[in-house]
Structure 1
Amino acid sequence: MKNLTLRYCLTQFTFWAASTGAASFATTYLLNCGISSAAVGTLLAVAGLLSCLMQPVLAGIADKSRRFQLPEMLIGMSFLCVVSFCIQLLSGIPTALTGICYMVAILSSDAMIPLINALCISYTQAGYQINYGAGRGIGSAASAISALVLGYVIARLGSTWMILLLTGFRLLCILILFGYPKIEKPKSVQSSTTHSCSIRAFFFHYRWYCASLAGILFLGMYHAMTENYLIVILGRLGGNSSHVGTALFISALVGAPVIFYFQRIHRFLSNTRLLKIAACSFLLKAVLFYFAKSIGTIYLLQLLQITSYAFLAPAQVYYAQEKVRPADMVKGQAFSTAAYALGCSAGNFAGGQLLGFGVDAILIAGIIMTLIGTILLFTTVTKSDFSI
């Protein structure tokens, strides 16, 4: 049995270093380019929405195909990110084109997430050894490093250097993806591709699963809105982009070990219990964010990442695998990440519109979002559509 854990860890590292950097500083970058806060919120919302539409479609192609083509799909989408970033390095391009190119890079990156998750599962089914928790943990560490470095890079060197670094990580990711061995789909999966349900039928086959994804959607709304508008939350407390980078570094850093050792945690806590704990942690964070009166308090509250996103991200992968048939494996991953991406889209849009009413409006909306998400998860995750 060949071990691909190292290559998968490098894939996760380069992917999340670029993805987190682009998403976390999207508002900062686009506002600096002269785009209004409402337009920024709309652009990021459209990116998330288009990503949600792309993910099930791409997953359907991967599930239906008799040939294993996930690495090629990921390479193509990574190349699209590179092109989108490189266009922004050209001098004198219109502000509107800058926003559109950044939007394309974000949506392409978001659409890759279920495919990267499925990449691990597919190679495991083909007889290769991959530790998903280790890979995703390294990815979380990459998010921490990227957030910290880019926060200081923007503050000291400007946003052009941010684009250069993001492009460099994408190019490295492409090189790593080229090194994956060619495999065939397992015969059991090949024979079941004709029984893979359509996107429309998926909602009817997996009603409770899809209902539980609505809870994940609301948690994604809060998480994206808070992170992308952290610049204004910290701004009223006297902070700048370097403080945003530090706050995101803390949250990603403390979450990395949890994700890295998630398989051990998973032995003691079921997927449903992990999702419930994550929901409660998001709700607690939202409430405490509202009452935070200093940058130091925000830093302290970032420690809740340990049981919020650090539980939610890997639990989503195993939860989808548990609730969905093998023939719909990629589609199950895609619907899970699409729900989260749709939530991020809605959160970005809501943040852009609410910013005009002040930071308090954003924080109160965050409490409502997490409360709804928590209620939905508690009432749906224990339900089963049928025995798989």
Structure 2
Amino acid sequence: MKKTRGDRGLTIKYAALQGNYWMLFGAVFTFIAVFLLSQGFKAGDVGVLMALGNVTGAILQPWIAAAADKSERYTLRQRMTGITCLGIVPAAVLMLAPGSRFLSAGLLMVIMVVVSVQQPLVNAVNGYYISRGKSMNFGVARATGSLGFAVLSWIMGYLVAAFGERVIPIAICFLLVTMVAVISSFRMEREKSCNGETIEAAESFSGSGKRTGTSPRAPGSGWALIKKYRRFFLVLGGIVFLFAFHNMVNTYLIQIMERFGGNSSDMGTSIAIAAVCEIPVMVLFSKLAEKISPNRLIKIAGLGFLLKAGAIWLAGSVLMVHASQLLQALSFAILIPASVYYSDEVMEAQDRIKGQAFITASITAGGMVGNFFGGKIIDAAGVPAMLTAGVVCAGAGMVLVWIGAVPAKGRGEDGTL
């Protein structure tokens, strides 16, 4: 499909949406620990709060995505605007009239859920235009998201170090308002649902602008799917462990830095380094996938996570923690797109949407486990013990994905994998 001037304009607007969303995501999920710790919460309390936010978001995500897909009364733009506005109110209260620490925790819970449930809707914007013959480069737009995340992390780290933690709710409120403005720049029509199906993330990520079509949902229990895709569910188990490590480090990075005399500025710089390392991989992933099969890429990512866990565990200074973040290009940046490609490759047509949902659920579950147990371990035994647990999680995750990630040709005659 030849890209028109209008399509290029859509790519720019969509890149702005992705950039704004991931900046907002970073302000909320990366700096929430810094804010709550300054309010007198313990690391374990922060972990519980973030775990609750992850669980609530995971429960609401599919429901809101399905409601948006089936709605004939409201456009996708209207729903996204309404949900974003629900986050502006608690953010404004937190910014203008901070109360007790428990009120702050409750307001941040609402904001976390709002940001979480927006993610599938942000992805659905691409699917909306693809279904209408438009072409947008999802890889470039998502890379813009990583760039926005990196810039936000670096700036926020500096501002918090210079002016204190009250900067965090101000930034969150500002980014929620700008997101409403960006969403408003899109033009969308009301539509009838098509078989109740949602646009698949795999189609969106490829950036090809081509639809392969969706198949009706096949009946069957979760146990039947597990039996059918045994190896795939091993990969999902590995993803849970890998993201448990990933979230342990990201959520409690401020305490890792403080161990070496660092502060929130060092934390922001470190996160920015990791995010910048994602960008070239995200942009060039479709070409990488042409040369290396998705199952092998997942194995490479598993090894990358273990190497990163080992590097952070061995780090003896802020600079060495920064250096360990370079391995983000070999771990997170590969696993996210590779898991989408792999699911599409090994799942039969009627199960592909389920496969994407299981991947999202595994990432969310890993976040919940990492946030909860990471905080508890720090309170009980300190940061070194948490980093040791992170190495164990990364190792277990690597083993599971290496065993489970087999090519689609490994499927048996009965269709099982």
Which residue of structure 2 lines up, in the alignment, with residue 136 of structure 1? 142
Residue 204 of structure 1 pairs with residue 211 of structure 2: no
- Over 3 Å counting, the alpha-carbon distance change for 1:291 and 1:152 in structure 2 is same
Over 3 Å counting, the alpha-carbon distance change for 1:125 and 1:270 in structure 2 is: farther
Tell me which residue corresponds to 1:306: 329
Distance 2:285 2:344 in 1: 15
Q: Does 1:103 align with 2:109?
A: yes
**Aligned partners of 1:203 and 1:145: how far apart in 2?**
43
Q: Deviations over 1:226-262 (max 9, x none)?
A: 0111111111111111110111111111211221222
Rounded Cα–Cα distance in structure 2 between residues aligned with 1:203 and 1:298:
42
Q: Residue 80 and residue 291 in structure 1: after superposition, are their counterparts in 2 closer, same or farther (change >3 A)?
A: same
Partner residue, 1:365: 389
- Cα distance change, pair 77–313 in 1 and its aligned pair in 2 (3 A): farther
Tell me the CA shift for residue 194 of structure 1.
Answer: 9.7
> 2:68 & 2:348 partners in 1: Cα distance?
15
1:266 to 289, 293, 314: 289
Q: Distance in 1 between matches of 2:87 and 2:156?
A: 18
CA distance in 2, matches of 1:196, 1:379: 28
Residue 253 of structure 1 pairs with residue 273 of structure 2? no
The amino acid of 2:400's aligned partner reads L
- 1:75–1:316 Cα change, 3 Å: farther
Using a 3 Å threshold, how does the CA distance of structure 1 residues 79 and 342 change in structure 2: closer, same or farther?
A: farther
The CA deviation string for residues 331-388 of structure 1, in whole angstroms up to 9 with x for no partner, is 543432222122111101111100121111111110111112112212223265759x
Q: Aligned pair in 2 of structure 1 residues 265, 383: CA closer, same or farther (>3 Å)?
A: closer
The structural deviation recorded for 1:147 is 0.5
Q: Deviations over 1:74-116 (max 9, x none)?
A: 3333223322312212325221111121122223322332333
Aligned equivalents of 1:173, 1:323: Cα separation in 2? 36
**Structure 1 Cα separation of the partners of residues 225 and 72 of structure 2:** 22
- The residue type paired with residue 58 of structure 2 is C
Contact 1:237 1:293 survives alignment (8 Å)? yes
Residue 22 (structure 1) aligned with residue 28 (structure 2): yes
- Residue 216 of structure 2 corresponds to residue 195 of structure 1: yes
Gaps of 5+ in 1: none
Q: Deviations over 1:19-58 (max 9, x none)?
A: 0121111111111112222211110111112222222333
Change (3 A) 1:333 1:75: farther
Distance 1:353 1:189, change over 3 A: closer
**In structure 2, what is the Cα distance between the partners aligned to 1:262 and 1:193?**
24
Q: Which residue of 2 aligns with 1:91?
A: 97
**Alpha carbons of structure 1 residues 117 and 269: separation in structure 2 relative to 1, 3 Å:** farther
Alignment of 1:316-355 (within 5 A): 316-323=339-346, 332-355=355-378
- Distance between the aligned counterparts of 2:14 and 2:295, measured in 1? 26
Contact 2:69 2:193 in 1 (8 A): no
Amino acid corresponding to residue 108 of structure 1 in structure 2 = V
**Aligned position for 2:83:** 77
| Deviation per residue, 1:275-314 (Å, 9 max, x gap) | 2111110111111211111111111111001111111222
Equivalent residue for 2:401, pick from 377, 380, 387 = 377
The letter for the 2-side match of 1:382 is V
Change (3 A) 1:135 1:219: same
For 1:88, what is the secondary structure of its paired residue? helix
**Does 2:225 align with 1:225?**
no
Contact 2:377 2:385 (8 Å CA) reproduced = yes
Shift of 1:189: 7.6
- Counterparts of 1:270 and 1:180, CA distance in 2: 37
User: Larger deviation: 144-153 or 251-260?
Assistant: 251-260
Shift of the alpha carbon at 1:193?
8.7
Alignment length (residue pairs): 387
Counterpart-to-counterpart distance in 2, 1:175 and 1:203:
44
Closer/same/farther in 2, CA of residues 116 and 321 from structure 1, 3 Å limit: farther
- Tell me the residue number matched to 2:19: 13
TM-score, structure 2 normalization: 0.83
Larger radius of gyration: 2
| 1:127 to partner: Cα distance | 1.3
For each residue in 1:168-187, what CA deviation from the matched residue of structure 2 results, as whole angstroms up to 9, or x when unmatched? 22222222223143375796
* Unmatched tracts of structure 2, length 5 or more: 199-212
Match of 1:182 in 2: 189
In the superposition, the TM-score normalised over structure 1's length comes to 0.89
Relative to 1, partners in 2 of residues 1:276 and 1:65: Cα closer, same or farther, differing over 3 Å? farther
The answer to whether the 8 A contact 2:77-2:188 is kept is no
SS at match of 1:89: helix
Change (3 A) 1:193 1:293: closer
* Partner amino acid, structure 2, of 1:182: E
Identity across matched positions, percent:
31
